[in-house]
Amino acid sequence: MSRWLIVVVALAVVTACGSSGSEGGFAALDASDRSSFRQPSPGDGIRLPADLGAHPAYRIEWWYLTANLEVADGTPLGLQWTQFRRGLSPLRSGAMRAAPDTWPLDSVWMAHAAVSFNGQHRFRERFARGGIGQADARAAPLAVWLDDWSLMARDDAAGWRLTIDNADWSARLTLTPQRAPVRHGDRGFSAKSTDGTGSMYFSYVDLAISGQVRIDGESHAVHGTGWFDREWSSQFLRSDQRGWDWMGLQLDNGARLMAFRLREEGGAFRSGTWIGPDDERRALKGDAIAFEVLESRDSARGEVPVTWRVRVPSEDVDLTVTAPAGSYWNTGLYPYWESPVTVSGSHRGRGYLELTGYGSSD
C-alpha cells in the first residue's frame, strides 16, 4: 500500500551501491527507455497463482501484509511485512535470466517489517541485489524472500507461513485465506489518476492468522486476521500527486473495505472496493467514497491525520477510523506511517492505515 514513493526513493540507494564508476549509479540506470517496461491495462487481467510471483517485465511491484492480532490476554498486536522489487531493465516473457554467478544488475529488492505492541512501534528495513538468489519471488509454490525473511507456501498447501527474524523481535505465523482474492478496479486494473495510469492490484482481504511473536526475549502466542495486497506497475506518482492515504478495513459483520485517495493539487483522486458480508464485490470511484480528516496528531516528524470519517453512501456506511495512541512511523530511507486502526460508527471493526507525504523528510 506508500508504495511508489518507497520503491523509487529507497531503492535508489541500493542501486547506487551496487554500481561503480562514472557510468554507474541510480541516475544513469534510471535513464533507460521507460517505454521498454510493460504498462498495466484493464485487458491484462489477474491470473492466479501465476501473479503471486515476480513480474520482471514491469518496473515496480510489492507483496504487502498487515495483521491485526491479539496475545493471550487480549492485548492487541499489529504486524506488517512487505517486500518490494524495482526493475532496472525489463525481462520479457520467455527470456532467459542471466546466471547468478555473472552478478546481473536487473533489479533491486527491499523488505520492511514492523511490530506494534504495548505502545511501542519497531521497524526494520533490508535491501538486496536481484539476480543472485539473495531475494526473489516465485508463484507456485509461493516463495517470496529476502535473506531470512520470507513468505512461503505451507507444506499442506492450505496457506502460507511468514518468517521474520530480527535481533529484538521475530515472528513465526501461519496464514490461511478465508475467501477468494479480490480484484480491484476494472478486473484488477486499479486506476491511480484521471489520465488512465494505474496498476494491477488484487488482495486477500480475509486471512486467519496464528503463531508466535517474540519481543525482547518474551514469546507471545498470537491469533487474529490479516490483509494481503499484491500490486505491480511501471509508472510512478504524477508530479502533482503529493501522497497517498490508504485503508484496509475488516468490519465485524463480515464486510471488507479497501479505500485510498491520492492527494493532488486542488483535490484528490479517490478509489476503493466494497466487499459485502455476502462477498459481493463492488468498485468505488470518485464521489462513491468520501474521506474527511477529523483529528491530526503532532509527532516527531510533524502533523499526521490519525482519525478519519469514511463514507460509502451506497452501502449506508459511515465510519470513524482511529489510530491508537503512539507514533507509527516506519523510519526507513523514505519514512511513512503504518498503524493499526479501530473502526466505529455505522459498523465496528479494525484494520490498517497507511499515510505517505506527511511530516518532514529528515
Give 196-252 pLDDT, tens digit per residue: 889 999 999 999 999 999 999 999 999 999 999 999 999 876 777 788 999 999 999
Our measurement of the distance from residue 174's CA atom to the centroid of its chain's CA atoms, rounded to an integer in Å, reads 19
Report the range out of 19-23, 37-41, 46-50 with the highest average pLDDT: 46-50
| pLDDT of amino acid 90 | 78
Comparing 15-19, 67-71, 140-144, 215-219, the range with the smallest average pLDDT is 15-19
Which uninterrupted H or E stretch holds 5? helix 3-17
pLDDT tier at 155 (50, 70, 90 boundaries)? confident
**Which domains does the chain carry?**
3-355 (2.40.370.10)
- d(CA 182, CA 201) in angstroms, rounded, equals 9
Q: Is 240 left (phi over 0), alpha (psi -120 to 50) or beta?
A: alpha
| pLDDT of amino acid 95 | 59
